[in-house]
Structure 1
Amino acid sequence: MKKLKKTLLVLLSLLALFALAIIIYFYSLRPKYEGETPLQNISKDTEVYFDEYGVPHIYASSQKDAMVALGYVHAQERLWQMELMRRIAPGRLSELFGSKTLKNDKFFASLGIDENSQKAVDLLDKNSQEYVMASAYLDGVNQYLHQGKTPVEFTLLGIKKQDFTLKDIYNIFGFMSFSFAMAQKTDPLLTDIKNSLGDPYLQDFGLSGTLNTTQIKNFQGKEIEYSKIAQSITAMLENQPLPPFIGSNSWVIGAEKTKNGKVIFANDPHIGFSQPCTWFEAHISCPDYEIYGYYLAGTPFPLLGHNRKMAYGLTMFENDDIDFFSEKINPKKPSEYYVNNKVNTLETKNLSIHVKDSASVLLHVKKTIHGVIINDVLDAVTSSQPISMSWIYTSEPNNILKAVYALSHATNYKQYKKGVELIHAPGLNIMYGDALGNIAWTTAGKLYKMPENVNPNFILNGSNGIDDKKEFLDFSKNPQALNPSWHYVYSANNQPEAVDGYLYPGYYLPKDRATRIDYLLQQKNNWTSTDVQKMIVDNTSATVSKTIKEMLSKVSVKNQSKNFQIAYNTLSHWQGNNDLNETAPTIYNKWLYFYLKNTFKDELGEEKFNVLMGTHVIKQVLTTQCLNPNSVWWDNTSTKNKVETQSDILTLSLQQAIASLEKQLNSNPNEWTWNKVHKLEHIHPVGKVKILAPLFNVGTFEVAGSNEVINNLLFALTDEKQYTVKAGPSTRRIIDFSDVENAVSILPTGQSGVPLSAHYSDQAKMYNEGQFRKMKLNKKEIIATSTKLIFKAK
């Protein structure tokens, strides 16, 4: 017995020592926030003050010195994230994760982002400021790569360090651009519905633009199962180790509508949640330049930024910049294809995908004049009918680095607009406000018209010489507004007004958020920063009360259960707010799921139904089709001798929703509160391994908000007990030009991507509670509240 106790004691001691060693090791990897560090290629010592939340405030004698320092401090917090970001577009994730990311690598490698990036680097003016400053940033990143601490993820995965290059920067922007696109999820599915079910089944989808209710006003002051394509691409984007870009809100209030007579700017881009979070904040101050910016990992210029003179931010435009073409191959010579009765030869290239712990995979990529043939790179597309993908990003000259440099260095509206004009893809709404009182919304992206009889919502004919005719438009035709007479601009990914009678095709989101933003902005003429802080976390739906009322009017309440009656009564009195203690959102979202399942799944089948649920189309449809008693979708095609009606489906769906909640929660509807089912966890790629999750993941948190409210915390409608929030505001920023030194912001978790750093998750609780912290610009305040790191010139 004594020997057993002694053995157990020894084992426990060894475990304790092992645990202590791990903790010491993790602590040793924490970033350096004070002291001195030698840094090459800076002309003078450079001071970096890290404030209470780990935001670096870089004071340098020149922009070039500041950029070297920025690269270094960015790398010490986010080197692992940078490594992941640069690997997606060229198809290099399998070098880290093995065959489970091979599908992702094959697809992205085939798109040509890497080749496009190299071409952009070759054409870049080596004397330009964007080249000089980006190179200085990379110098700082690479200095840390060689002399700094090795991230634990590098050690766990056996990653060999390789210098970062300009091509990596372009590849990161390229991945970002593709993750914005929605055509790859939508066009193949709609084509499949049209081919298999017929046009009547598309009427509820409003493909003519009828569902995309115009919200943003222009104003100038002075046979193939195509759905498998969508299914395959959607799965890749959702399962990759970095989050896709989703949507966003932004509004800018003119001086005429604010209490202090100055512009107030607000922006919260919606992006998939992950750990570390998307943005890295940094403040640069030089004698000739200042910016407080939000940076993607591995990029030198901020996509969101402000200073004392101006502020800019973005939302997704959601315009259509991807088209799919069905190609006609010469049956006698497979290397040839036809366009307008003319023979063309397929372009081919061979790529090698390196796979960890396995043999490399040779990829044969074929390309037409329209774009890459995706059959060979998507396992789900097995048809012999070749489908090509045309994407504006890779088919047009790439000036993204120049564009983002121009935006971050603009000092007035004209300079800002020139920067916007340089962006060819993705389509973005760029929002602007300045200290002089100007407010603006400008869409970025190279827009085009197609022939009137060509509908880009479907797979197009690549051989007829008609469907591929694009008329590219001058930038002046991009929807935009400058200093409108109603004194505010806003964007919530909704469709702009027609320009010259033409509605730009796209995959716009429903009017819910836009309607709510517009309504709230109309109500006041004395806005303050505090008011906007409350508005940006608003949880109330602008449309659900009316929709619920109409839906409930079709529900049969006779002979229903007690809980059915309680749920019905709860919904009938609901004002659309999605707070933690509300029960109506729990009931409503479960009802929505069963309504959609009972309406669409019988015709579409499991796979296509799941694809539909991942598109913006379903968000547009659910508030209109459910109110259409004549919709062909109501009938359940799997039942015989009966034609289901709107009332049948809505009543059945509410019954099923209540039964599901009784089973998953309990029998008391008054306890079905939103906080029990709507939850958020920030998942690190390594944290997907269960034993490592406590070290790397952040959360789980109960969160308010919902789909398509201003506090847009997105989740998939399912019959699961818990709605796992997948995306939402990647930051919330508010800049009041009457008090710009007290502008506020928040991140979902924290600045650092290094576990056990004090700033790994120090903002998470504040974020979930709708709180904010300062984006400091005042040097005296910064010095008084920060640690100091000096980069010594060598």
Structure 2
Amino acid sequence: MKLLKKLFKIVLILIALLFVGGWLFTVTLHPKYNGELELSNLSEKVTVFYDEVGVPHINAKNQKDAFRAFGYVHAQDRLWQMEVIRRISAGRLSEIFGKDVVRVDKFMSGLGIEEAAYKTIADIDKNSEPYKLTMAYLDGINQFIEKGPTPLEFYLVGVEKEKYTINDIYNVFGYMAFSFAVAHKTDPLLNEIKEKLGAEYLEELGIPLSETTLLKNTNKREIKAEFSLAVNEIMDKLPIPSFIGSNSWVLGSNRTKNGKVIFANDPHINFGQPSVWYQSHIKTPDYEMYGFNLALTPFPLLGHNRNHAYGLTMFENDDIDFYIEENNPENALEYKTPEGFLPYKTIDKDIKIKGRQNAAYQIKVSKHGPIMNGIIEHLQDERPIAMKWIYTHLPNKLLDVAYEMSHAENLQEFKNGASKLHAPGLNMMYGDASNNIAWFAAGKLYKYRDILNRKIYLNGASGKDEIVRYLDFEENPQAVNPAWGYVYSANNQPDSIANMLYSGYYLPEDRAKRIVEIVEPKHDFTKEDVAKMIYDVKSSVAPKVILNATEVITVDDLSVSERKALEILKKWDGNYFKTEVAPTIYNRFVYEFLVNTFKDEMGKGFKQFMDGTMIQKKMIAVQMSKSQSVWWDDVTTEGKIEDKKEIITKSFKNAISFLNAQLGENVEDWTWNRVTTVEHEHPIGKAGGLLRKIFNVGPFETNGGNEVLNNHIFKLDSTGYYKVTGGPSTRRIIDFSDIENSITIIPTGQSGNVFSDHYKDQAQKYLDGKFVKMKLNQKEIEQSENRLVFLPKK
């Protein structure tokens, strides 16, 4: 008995020691928000005041010191995020996540982002201010790596910390640019529809054909969409969110109650943990900016000060084209050009895989770009398909763009910075204290011969399908101080300035229409009005879609529950509130409608049509308004031609039958919150179990839906559940009549350190449509409880 008691005491002591040791270990991993630290290469003391949501307010005597301190504080909150994002374009995810992401590494490293970065960095002006401040920022990050605690994720995945270089920054720029692009998910599918179904089907999707199309035949073979599906699957495996949309509007002085500009912006990005943006407020005698930075970027892409505010949305222009190359029949390492056969450039790559041997492969590159067949496995198309991407073909000035936007002192300087952007295409939104407002669609636009359709594969051998000219920036869509008193962007098709439609993958009119609907009749907006507007969940388009659908449904053919559901739909005003029933009915009906309209022709390609392109979003209202369509006919029913009435009635009945089985027979219980959730997933939390509870944030119920201002992006699929995967990555409202009380919110929290109090402290406020202040008042800032002082190392 005594022996058992002794063993019991020993076990208790060991458990206590393990607990205390674990607690002490985690304490060392907390970010440091108070006290003093020495930093090398500082010329003066830098003081960082942390406000109540963890935003660092950096006060320095000069910008180099400020950016060095910023690098340190950015790293201590987001080093893991920096580590993951820098590995994507370099094809280095497999080093930490193993064999499951080899396919991702092979694809991303084959795009030419690193090779383009080498050229840019070789030509960079090392005496320029952007370069000097960037190097100071990197120095701050690297000093944290030397002195600061290692984030928990590094221990869990077994990866060593490495210092950062400017190459890593350009790898982040490249990933950002590619995540904006849509062509790689869309063009191959459209080309396959053209080749296997024919012109009529493609033209009804808004893609007219021209003489250049290489039509094979129209024997209605199955659409496999191997290329597009592969890219979509690869992008879905990325551990860092992709950019997918955005809203912004800037109200001029004649639209506001106080006679000063009000600026609003909420970029839409796939959700993840930590949140995409890191906030900071940097103040020196010659510079001040409250900014929002991506991981490992020194200059903010969103920001404001007392003088001006700026932000962005995705332009959605087309900056990727695919070319069919023609190999030399005598030598597969050469391809045909108008000047004769040229050798492919070959690049050898080596992917390091955790716990396995390295994977070596070779990329072939034509004058148009990398041959995709070599970097997408199991692609059965034997024709060499080259990807031409403006990002890797033109000089990269992204560092200058971000620097000049954040350092501009007037509208003209901001425009000069925006004009240097080549890719990705961005709508640059601007407002200032002098009551200027502006919108610039930035990005290097270009023109082919008029009859060419760029959404279809081009002929790489002919020499006829090449760029004719690049447009001058003044030909880009833009508006400066328009007479109507506001500018806006919601990824919608822009007006023409150069007497041409700019090729792109623009989203449907829903959000843009809602912005105009709210703004146009009103001339006395306040900050509170805009805060309510940015959280708006009403669709202006859905009620019209329902009207077009219900016109052909015969009520007498419906069951009791179907009639009840139809009545609810008809009365719906388009609001996606949690307690509404109509959104549940509407989204299931839309899914069934798309299935019954497109799936029979598309086959396996239907999944890509739904998950990987924006086409299905645009086609909902367009297709529902048609009276005749080649897509109505179900090609699987021989000897019968279906029409609109049959397709819509079948879809509606299928939807109600599904919901009866899913949610019960009481239609009034089919509330939106029963089928929608949002969860912010951490790369490690995706493993599930305890790690999910530790690292993920959520799940939550939420107001919002696809293509409303409070945009909640989800996939329409067979499950009947809508897991929200993306939405506003921040909501920002800057009121120049009360600049010190401008407001923002982010989806989870400022810190990516799971032990920080600011890991998820904004999550519920975000869901509730609430905001926190973006502090600029120095006296208020200095009242902060947390103060971190950086001293020059002696």
TM-score range, shorter-chain basis? over 0.9
Q: 1:51 aligns to what?
A: 51
Residue 611 of structure 1 deviates from its aligned partner by: 3.7
> Does 2:287 match 1:315?
no
Q: Deviations over 1:403-454 (max 9, x none)?
A: 1111110010011011101110000000000000000000111100111121
Q: Is the 8 A contact 2:222 2:601 kept in 1?
A: no
Counterpart selection for 2:347 from 346, 349, 359 = 349
Q: 1:648 to 1:225 in 2, by over 3 A?
A: closer
Rate the CA distance shift 1:606–1:671 in 2: closer, same or farther, 3 A: same
Q: Which residue is 2:214 aligned to?
A: none
- Unaligned 5+ runs, structure 2: 210-220
- Change over 3 Å in CA distance of 1:121–1:571 after alignment to 2: same
Shift of 1:768: 0.3
3-state DSSP of counterpart to 1:334: strand
**Inter-partner Cα distance in structure 1 for 2:10 and 2:622:** 68
Counterpart in the other structure of 2:212: none
Deviation by residue 1:369-421 (Cα, 9 ceiling, x = unmatched): 11000101101413321000000000000111111111110010011011101
Q: Does 1:679 align with 2:677?
A: yes
Query: Partner of 2:694 in structure 1?
Result: 695
SS at match of 2:77: helix
Question: CA shift at 1:363, angstroms?
Answer: 1.5
User: In the alignment, does 2:507 pair up with 1:509?
Assistant: yes
- Which residue of structure 2 aligns with residue 732 of structure 1? 731
Question: Does structure 2 retain, via aligned residues, the 8 Å contact 1:253–1:263?
Answer: yes
Query: Which residue in the other structure is 1:213 paired with?
Result: none
Instruction: Report percent identity of matched pairs.
Output: 49
Which residue in 1 is equivalent to 2:466?
468
**Partner Cα separation in structure 2 for residue 341 and residue 789 of structure 1:** 64
Q: Deviations over 1:110-162 (max 9, x none)?
A: 11101111211111111100011000000000000111000111111111111
8 Å contact kept, 2:459–2:465: yes
| Displacement after TM superposition at 1:10 (Å) | 8.3
Q: State the secondary structure of the residue aligned to 1:125.
A: coil
In the comparison of the two structures, how many residue pairs are matched?
781
Q: Contact between 2:428 and 2:440, CA under 8 Å: does it hold in 1?
A: yes
Between the aligned partners of 1:154 and 1:347, the Cα distance in structure 2 is 37
Instruction: Tell me if structure 1 keeps the 8 A contact 2:282–2:288.
Output: yes
Counterpart residue number, 2:410: 412
SS of residue paired to 2:246? strand
Q: What is the CA–CA distance in structure 1 between the aligned matches of 2:722 and 2:742, rounded to whole Å?
A: 33
Tell me the secondary structure at the aligned position of residue 551 of structure 1: helix
Matches within 5 A, 1:179-198: 179-198=179-198
Amino acid at match of 2:289: I
Matches within 5 A, 1:48-127: 48-127=48-127
Q: Distance between the aligned counterparts of 1:486 and 1:323, measured in 2?
A: 36
8 Å contact 2:676–2:701 — kept in the other structure? Answer: yes
Q: Which residue in the other structure is 2:290 paired with? A: 292
Distance 1:735 1:641, change over 3 A: same
State how far apart, in whole Å, the 2-side matches of 1:252 and 1:110 are: 39
How do 1:496-645 residues align onto structure 2 when only pairs under 5 Å count?
A: 496-645=494-643
- Counterpart of 1:243, as a letter, is P
Give the direction of change, closer, same or farther, for the CA distance of 1:251–1:208 in structure 2 (3 Å limit). Answer: farther
The equivalent residue for 1:212 is none
Name the aligned partner's letter for residue 726 of structure 1: T
CA distance in 1, matches of 2:328, 2:21: 66
Deviations 1:71-127 (A, max 9, x none): 000000000000011110111111111111111111111111011112111111111
Moved more, 18-27 or 254-263: 18-27
Contact 1:71/1:138 (<8 A) preserved: yes
Whether contact under 8 Å (1:189, 1:608) holds in the other structure is no
Residue deviations 1:653-677 (CA, integer Å, cap 9, x gap): 1112112212222221111111111
| In structure 1, distance between residues paired with 2:528 and 2:9 | 58
Look up the match of 2:483.
485
Deviation (angstroms), 1:559: 3.7
Q: Give the secondary-structure state (helix, strand or coil) at the position aligned to 1:623.
A: helix
Q: Aligned-pair distance for 1:287? A: 0.6
Task: Evaluate the alpha carbon distance shift between residue 641 and residue 353 of structure 1 in structure 2; reply closer, same or farther with a 3 A threshold.
Answer: same
Matched, 1:142 2:129: no
User: How much has 1:207 moved relative to structure 2?
Assistant: 2.4
Matched, 1:35 2:38: no
| One-letter amino acid of the structure 2 residue matched with residue 192 of structure 1 | E
Aligned-pair CA distance for 1:340: 2.5
Distance 1:689 1:17 in 2: 29
**Which residue does 2:215 correspond to in 1?**
none
2: distance between equivalents of 1:365 and 1:615?
27
Partner of 1:214: none
- Give the residue type in structure 2 aligned to 1:739: D
The 3 A distance-change label for structure 1 pair 677 and 727 is same
Secondary structure at the aligned position of 1:408 is classed as helix
In the TM superposition, residue 617 of structure 1 has moved relative to its aligned partner by 1.1
Within 2, Cα distance between the matches of 1:660 and 1:7? 60
Structure 2 vs 1, CA of residues 7 and 619 (structure 1 numbering), >3 Å: closer, same or farther?
Answer: farther
Within 5 Å, which residues of 2 pair with 1:334-413?
A: 334-340=332-338, 342-413=340-411
Cross-structure match for 1:219:
none
Contact 2:588–2:720 under 8 Å retained in 1? no
Distance 2:21 2:563 in 1: 59
Alignment partners' CA distance in 2, 1:26 and 1:102: 32
Worse-superposed segment, 433-442 or 549-558: 549-558
TM-superposed CA distance for 1:627, in Å, is 2.2
2: CA distance, partners of 1:320 / 1:8: 70
Q: How far off its partner does 1:463 sit?
A: 1.0
Residues of 2 paired with 1:531 and 1:632: CA distance?
Answer: 45
Residues 21, 706 of structure 1: alpha-carbon distance in 2 compared, 3 angstrom cutoff:
farther
Shift of 1:330: 1.0
Q: Which amino acid aligns with 2:757?
A: A
> Deviation per CA, 1:218-273, whole angstroms, max 9, x where unpaired?
xxxxx997822111111111121011100000000001111111000000000000
Q: Secondary structure at the match of 1:363?
A: strand
What do residues 177-209 of structure 1 show as CA deviations (whole Å, max 9, x unaligned)? 000001111111011001101111123211259
Distance 1:616 1:54 in 2: 37
Change (3 A) 1:11 1:615: farther
Question: Which stretch of the first structure deviates more once superposed, 379-388 or 500-509?
Answer: 379-388
Q: Which residue of 1 is the match for residue 422 of structure 2?
A: 424
Counterpart of 2:753 in 1: which secondary structure?
coil
Cα-to-partner distance string for 1:633-670 (whole Å, 9 max, x where unaligned): 11211123322221112111111211221222222111
User: How far off is 1:777 after superposition?
Assistant: 0.3
- Quote the residue 1:216 is aligned against: none
TM-aligned CA deviation for residue 13 of structure 1: 8.3
User: Given residue 734 of structure 2, which amino acid in structure 1 is its aligned partner?
Assistant: I
The 5 Å alignment of 1:227-242 reads 227-242=225-240
2:782 is paired with a residue whose SS is helix
Counterparts of 1:361 and 1:119, CA distance in 2: 26
Quote the Cα distance in structure 2 between the aligned partners of 1:277 and 1:673.
29
Query: In the alignment, is the contact (CA less than 8 A) between 2:476 and 2:498 conserved in 1?
Result: no
Distance 1:607 1:5, change over 3 A: farther
| Contact preservation (8 Å) 1:230, 1:611 | no
How far off is 1:721 after superposition? 4.0
**Aligned 8 A contact 2:224 2:605 in 1:** no
Query: Is the contact between residue 87 and residue 93 of structure 1 (CA under 8 Å) also seen in structure 2?
Result: yes
Contact 2:99 2:353 in 1 (8 A): yes
- Kept in 1, the 8 Å contact 2:179–2:243? The answer is yes
Whole-angstrom CA distance in 2 between matches of 1:713 and 1:80: 26
**1: distance between equivalents of 2:618 and 2:13?**
60
Q: Whole-Å Cα distance in 2 between the matches of residues 466 and 324 of structure 1?
A: 14
1:267-326 CA deviation, whole Å, 9 max, x = no partner? Answer: 000000000010000000001110000000111000001000000000000000000001
Q: 1:2 to 1:580 in 2, by over 3 A?
A: farther
**Counterpart AA for 1:142:** N
The structural deviation recorded for 1:39 is 1.0
Aligned counterparts of 1:633 and 1:23: Cα–Cα separation in 2: 63
On the 8 A contact 1:279/1:730 being kept in 2, the answer is yes
User: When the two structures are superposed, what TM-score results if normalisation uses the length of structure 1?
Assistant: 0.96
Partner residue, 1:788: 787
What TM-score, normalized to structure 2?
Answer: 0.96
Aligned 8 A contact 2:610 2:715 in 1:
no
